[in-house]
Amino acid sequence: MTSQRIVSGIQPTGQLHLGNYLGALRNWVRMQQALAPGDQAFYFIADLHAITVFQDPATLRQATREMAAALIASGIDPARATLFSHSQVPEHAELAWVLGCVARVGWLNRMTQFKEKSGKDREGASVGLYTYPVLQAADVLLYKATHVPVGEDQKQHLELARDIAIKFNTDYGVEIFPLPEPTIPPTAPRVRSLRDGTQKMSKSDPSEQSRINLTDTPDQILAKLRKARTDPEPLPASEAGLAGRPEAENLVRIFAALTGRSANDICAEFAGRGFADFKPALAEVVIAALAPVSARLRDLLAHPDEIDRLLAEGAARARETAARTLAEVHRAVGFLCP
């Protein structure tokens, strides 16, 4: 089998929570752990994508460091996976220009995320928000990605990257870009707000009680889970009994995801018992899972220079591969090459 090159990006959002941890973060760590000899993983913080909508500069810088720290604290090993921020590898933006000349306006016009994010004021959206998927294509093609772990919402962007790769290879009669496969993580539960089981757990929820932050202390975690909204019924005997009970379902799914057990199994264990019993048990599980992550996270955040150093090292490594691909591209399209 040929070697895998795993590439993925994540936007820098400050204030990481349990939802982020059980989503992209843990999945990236799993994929890193599954690397075979000769495989490579490139993980980056997509700060170039972040500025497609205005970001306060100091906040962006801090959020980038926080995301890097959270990734390392969750288990990304900068010695095994190449971890960097987008903007420190200028080849991303350079390749995006060339690919922007390959992609068609009609293709971009079909991107649903742009339609959602630009909303009613499409004329007022940034050009960067519109060409965002071209940069994303450059992100993966620059490393000749074979596998790209993304959420469901990014599948369309990945398909566009494949279309761009095919058209580039065909137009220039080369085989520079392999076609990247999206890999959608199978078990990522959608973690919900602790105040309202119909809403996502989110950093933008004004209520601190709605989420468990990766920096929360065990006492805070316990207090938040004790106050988490539930219904008055006891736990059901099986997963099917969670239907129509979004808060109960959320808590059971968090328990299941963190212990690697099935929701059915958890229901069977707690069947007929009330949440007054279940919540402390859940808190124990959450605290045990997050304690090492938050300790490492707090330690890293106290040493921003160390984070910056690790990211700079990652960027230097990424540039070796990136520069090679970009040189091939320049040759293929007819630019003067040294």
Residues annotated as catalytic (active site), given as ranges = 117, 200, 203
Tokens of 71: 């990734």
C-beta of 49 vs 162, nearer to ligand TRP: 49
Q: What is the DSSP letter of 244?
A: T
Residue 64: CA atoms inside 13 Å, Cβ hemisphere, count? 27
What minimum distance in Å lies between the beta carbon of 160 and ligand TRP?
11
Instruction: Kindly tell me which residue out of 139, 239, 247, 249 binds ligand TRP, with binding defined by CB under 6 A.
Output: 139
- Per-residue x/- marks for ligand TRP, 77-116, CB under 6 A? ----------------------------------------
What minimum distance in Å lies between the beta carbon of 41 and ligand TRP?
12
The percent of the chain in helix, strand and coil, each rounded to the nearest 5, is 60, 10, 35
45-64 residues in contact with ligand TRP (CB under 6 A) are 46, 49
Neighbours of 234 (CB within 10 A): 17
Choose among 1, 325, 6, 322: nearest CA to 146: 6
Instruction: Kindly tell me which residue out of 5, 9, 68, 84 binds ligand TRP, with binding defined by CB under 6 A.
Output: 9
Are the C-beta atoms of residues 221 and 287 closer than 8 Å to each other? yes
The answer to whether residue 134 forms part of the interface with ligand TRP (CB under 6 A) is: no
The answer to whether residue 148 forms part of the interface with ligand TRP (CB under 6 A) is: yes
Choose among 33, 16, 30: nearest CA to 68: 16
The answer to whether residue 154 forms part of the interface with ligand TRP (CB under 6 A) is: yes
Sequence-ordered list of residues with C-beta below 8 angstroms from that of 113, at least 6 positions apart, any chain? 132, 133, 153, 156, 157
Binding-residue total with ligand TRP (CB under 6 A) = 13
Q: Which residues bind ligand TRP (CB under 6 A)?
A: 7-11, 46, 49, 136, 139-140, 148, 150, 154
